[in-house]
Structure 1
Amino acid sequence: MTVHHILGAGVMGLCTAVELARRGASVTVHDPLGLPGPHQCSWWAGGMLAPRCEGETAEEIVVNEGLKAVDWWQAQGAEVTRNGTLVVALGRDRAELDRFARRTTGHSLLSAEEVAEIEPLLAGRFSRGLFFAEEAHLDPQAALAALVVRAKELGVRFTTDSAAEGNVIDCRGTAARDILPDLRGVKGEMLILHSSEITLSRPVRLLHPRIPVYIVPRGDGTFMLGATMIESAERNRASVRSVLELLTAAYALHPAFGEAEIVEIGHDARPAFPDNLPRLRHAGGRLCLNGLYRHGYLMAPALARMAADHLLEGRNALLEEALPA
């Protein structure tokens, strides 16, 4: 049996391993740094499965394929919370909410009373909101761990040996710039906060003309606050300005965040092509799956499915039509 060698154990590599293995393929995942951890940008993701919201700026394929991602993640054993997404704006930024509504679909307009009904913490703070009922969220680190369990159940082998020959699938993210010269890094920074005084049931996006932010509940009073988008491949530090802006936005959402504990600061560079769309591309004698940009948990299952169709069924037309190289 042909062995498919996947380079990289981040979200793209693990999704591909699971998708191939569940169709009966033999798969080995190579990552010199081992299983998923802080060395991968997918470790620091927000975990929002929010394709409707992403449609504000993303192409239609991100919305359409992202809508399928919720069921895919749940089917692989990840814990998915289907409580939708709430989008709000401060009074001075009310026009931002109108603009967001025009550029997205699948939402309902909430009054101040309706905002307070679904998120009591925000009672009296926002006169309107947009609710995207189809959307969901997950804990990225727990979801990656669930994928590892699922992959091993399907017979996937993991190794820290980086040498791979034969049928190689490159899922190395920004490290693949050695064979994908048009790949770039887009830096993201996030914070993990903890407060026993704050309760949110779903991700909340606070719109701002310059620094829109989102807050994602992770359970037990823990929240993920993110995220910046900086055109830089630098991965090793978070800037004072970014952290200050994120914390200021959280305080604007609710002053109780001013007393929250900063548990962790995360930062990494997301891989992106010039048009911010992912690609399945042949380069360096291998199939490369890359360019997830800020849509990793939405689009990795779709790329994995397309790669499996291509490798196991020879469906080149879908490969070229859906995500042209």
Structure 2
Amino acid sequence: MSDLFTIIGGGVCGLAMAAELSSRGAQVTVIDPKGAPGDHACSWWAGGMLAPDCEGVSAEPEIVRQGRKAASWWKSHGGIVHHAGTIVVALNRDQSDLATFARRAPTATSLSKTQIAEHEPHLAERFSKALFLADEGHLDPRATLTALHARLDQKGVRFGGDIKGQVIDCRGLAARDTLTDLRGVKGEMLVVRCPDVTLSRPVRLLHPRFPLYIVPRGDDVFMLGATQIETGERGRATLRSVMELMNAAYALHPAFGEAELLEIGVDARPAFPDNQPRIRRIGDVIYANGLFRHGFLLAPALAQMTADLLLKGKIPEVWYEDHRER
């Protein structure tokens, strides 16, 4: 099989694909008309949580199984992964949601108020019960994408130029011109600075209408996200969604009411009807797409499966479809 590949799209899926193929000795070109990673990419606005067990509460079991590969993959490709786990809390009126979450996340352990204080003292001021998922991690999406792009460039991956060899389409939502069952799911996020709150790991606040996750970025900066709205619209945050994120953050800790708002971000995630990704062969092109809200969690598995398919002829165990005419 050919060891010459052109990847269309330079977001998390495209760069993970380039990293996996080039690490196996393939010659790779990445073409993205918008250039290096930046705010044009959906993955630029991600939370960066490598939290398969949390996601497994509402996602299919295969998401969890494949997502467990992510942290070690990112570390092996130069990513800085923080293995601090995830804490899940709920307001007093929503304690039944916390109990439901615990039943659906068998790796979660219960924390008392004293134990919460040992992990996150500021949360102990507000919550007497919590769940802790110790095996989960997180990374900074922007730093990770920027560093991976530079690493690939240094290792000989070509950015820009002519299409050569096998084409792998990783354009995300832009691939709807061919993938007609792909849809957009809009997500909005905030970046704030709040010196009065210290968190060392992602925290999820369960809520029946607007669940929240907060991810620490260092230097008193936090990412708050993210809404999930069924629309392909990109680039426009709504006042209602922003207010809900702010209200949820205030409910988590009142000090967030005094936070400095640094950034409002919005983009549309590409998703198939079942919210699971696909490796789809159409004609001579391989399409890798549909990462939904699991970009950093599932891009490594999707890249490994695609590399096995194209370099070894190994048919992926899941998510593969061959749409060539028979």
TM (normalized to structure 2)?
0.96
Aligned to 1:288, what secondary structure does the other structure show?
strand
Show the counterpart of 2:275.
276
Deviation per CA, 1:270-313: give whole Å up to 9, x if none.
00000000000012530000000000001000000000000100
- What residue identity is the alignment partner of 1:139? D
Show the counterpart of 1:118.
119
Alpha-carbon distance between aligned partners in 1 of 2:283 and 2:47, rounded to the nearest angstrom: 32
Show the counterpart of 2:319.
323
Alpha-carbon distance between aligned partners in 2 of 1:184 and 1:308, rounded to the nearest angstrom: 25
- What residue identity is the alignment partner of 2:96? A
Alpha-carbon distance between aligned partners in 1 of 2:125 and 2:236, rounded to the nearest angstrom: 37
- What residue identity is the alignment partner of 2:163? A
Aligned to 2:15, what secondary structure does the other structure show?
helix
Show the counterpart of 2:252.
253
Show the counterpart of 2:139.
138
Which deviates more from structure 2 when the two are superposed, residues 245-254 or residues 192-201? 192-201
Aligned to 1:322, what secondary structure does the other structure show?
coil
- 1:304 correspondence with 2:306: no
Show the counterpart of 1:285.
284
Show the counterpart of 1:186.
185
Alpha-carbon distance between aligned partners in 1 of 2:202 and 2:3, rounded to the nearest angstrom: 42
TM (normalized to structure 1)?
0.96
Alpha-carbon distance between aligned partners in 2 of 1:311 and 1:282, rounded to the nearest angstrom: 11
Alpha-carbon distance between aligned partners in 1 of 2:91 and 2:282, rounded to the nearest angstrom: 47
Alpha-carbon distance between aligned partners in 2 of 1:42 and 1:138, rounded to the nearest angstrom: 12
- What residue identity is the alignment partner of 1:133? A
Show the counterpart of 2:243.
244
- 1:1-325 aligned at under 5 Å gives the runs 2-159=3-160, 161=161, 164-316=163-315, 319=316, 321-325=317-321
Show the counterpart of 2:324.
none
Alpha-carbon distance between aligned partners in 1 of 2:129 and 2:3, rounded to the nearest angstrom: 56
- What residue identity is the alignment partner of 1:120? P
Deviation at 1:164, TM superposition (A): 2.5
Cα pair 1:50 1:85 within 8 Å, conserved: yes
Deviation per CA, 1:75-109: give whole Å up to 9, x if none.
11111111000000000000010111111121111
Deviation at 1:151, TM superposition (A): 1.3
Alpha-carbon distance between aligned partners in 2 of 1:105 and 1:59, rounded to the nearest angstrom: 15
Alpha-carbon distance between aligned partners in 2 of 1:221 and 1:186, rounded to the nearest angstrom: 29
Q: Any stretches of 5+ residues in structure 1 without a counterpart?
A: none
Q: Any stretches of 5+ residues in structure 2 without a counterpart?
A: 322-326
Cα pair 1:3 1:25 within 8 Å, conserved: yes
Which deviates more from structure 2 when the two are superposed, residues 261-270 or residues 103-112? 103-112
Deviation at 1:2, TM superposition (A): 4.1
Cα pair 2:4 2:164 within 8 Å, conserved: no
Deviation at 1:18, TM superposition (A): 0.4
- What residue identity is the alignment partner of 1:88? V
Alpha-carbon distance between aligned partners in 1 of 2:261 and 2:207, rounded to the nearest angstrom: 23
Identity level (%): 60
Deviation at 1:196, TM superposition (A): 1.6
Alpha-carbon distance between aligned partners in 1 of 2:14 and 2:267, rounded to the nearest angstrom: 17
Alpha-carbon distance between aligned partners in 2 of 1:30 and 1:284, rounded to the nearest angstrom: 20
Give the number of aligned pairs.
Answer: 320
Deviation at 1:166, TM superposition (A): 3.7
Deviation at 1:209, TM superposition (A): 1.1
CA RMSD of aligned residues (A): 1.1
Alpha-carbon distance between aligned partners in 2 of 1:145 and 1:40, rounded to the nearest angstrom: 12
Alpha-carbon distance between aligned partners in 1 of 2:196 and 2:3, rounded to the nearest angstrom: 54
- What residue identity is the alignment partner of 2:153? K
Which deviates more from structure 2 when the two are superposed, residues 292-301 or residues 72-81? 72-81
Deviation per CA, 1:87-144: give whole Å up to 9, x if none.
0000000001011111112111111111122100112311210000000111100010
Cα pair 1:179 1:283 within 8 Å, conserved: no
Deviation per CA, 1:43-102: give whole Å up to 9, x if none.
000011111100011111111111111111111111111100000000000001011111
- What residue identity is the alignment partner of 1:282? R
Deviation per CA, 1:149-203: give whole Å up to 9, x if none.
22123311001x5x63541000000000011000000000000000222110100
Alpha-carbon distance between aligned partners in 2 of 1:314 and 1:155, rounded to the nearest angstrom: 25
